[in-house]
């Protein structure tokens, strides 16, 4: 079942989503690949998320999108009249930025560590087919 975060990330496909983590090695790999592709470090023991939709303590405590969407009582950013705002831009453009930086991304890495974060694609699909 597809689970979309407030900013358009696919929780159900995310390698840090708790149901997708099978071992500490999975956490280590997420930590390493996120640092490689997205440039931020999260210690393996902190990798694990239940999603931001119902979670009172989301993995990304610095997220500016989640409180905004919750305040506006929307399902996600696709339904916002300010779609593409500054709060959403960094998340919405992260996928394209990574793709432009790396010439040869292994198919497995692309599928596991990038596809879930193609926020723009996920949100645009909703906007185009409400």
Q: What ranges do the domains of the chain cover? A: 11-128
Over the stretch 42-77, which tens digit does the pLDDT of each residue have?
Answer: 999 999 998 888 766 678 888 899 999 999 999 999
pLDDT at 62: 84
d(C-alpha 3, C-alpha 10), whole Å? 6
Nearest alpha carbon to residue 44 among 54, 53, 33, 57: 33
Nearest alpha carbon to residue 114 among 34, 31, 28: 34
**pLDDT bracket for residue 111 (50, 70, 90):** very high
Find out whether 49 and 58 touch, Cβ atoms under 8 Å.
yes
* Alpha-carbon radius of gyration of the chain: 14
pLDDT at 83: 96
Is this structure's pTM higher than 0.85?
Answer: yes
**Residue 88, helix vs strand vs coil:** helix
Over the stretch 82-102, which tens digit does the pLDDT of each residue have?
Answer: 999 999 998 999 999 999 999
pLDDT at 130: 67
Over the stretch 26-39, which tens digit does the pLDDT of each residue have?
Answer: 999 999 999 999 99
């Amino acid at each position: 079942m597809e689970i979309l975060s407030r900013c358009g990330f696919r929780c159900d496909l995310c390698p840090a989503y708790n149901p997708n983590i099978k071992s500490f090695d999975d956490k280590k790999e997420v930590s390493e690949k996120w640092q490689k592709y997205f440039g931020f470090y999260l210690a393996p023991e902190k990798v694990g998320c239940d999603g931001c939709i119902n979670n009172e303590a989301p993995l990304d405590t610095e997220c500016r999108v989640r409180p905004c969407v919750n305040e506006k009582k929307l399902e996600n950013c696709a339904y916002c009249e300010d779609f593409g705002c500054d709060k959403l831009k960094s998340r919405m453009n992260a996928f394209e930025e990574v793709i432009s930086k790396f010439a040869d991304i292994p198919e497995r890495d692309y599928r596991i560590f990038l596809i879930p974060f193609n926020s723009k694609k996920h949100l645009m699909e909703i906007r185009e087919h409400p």
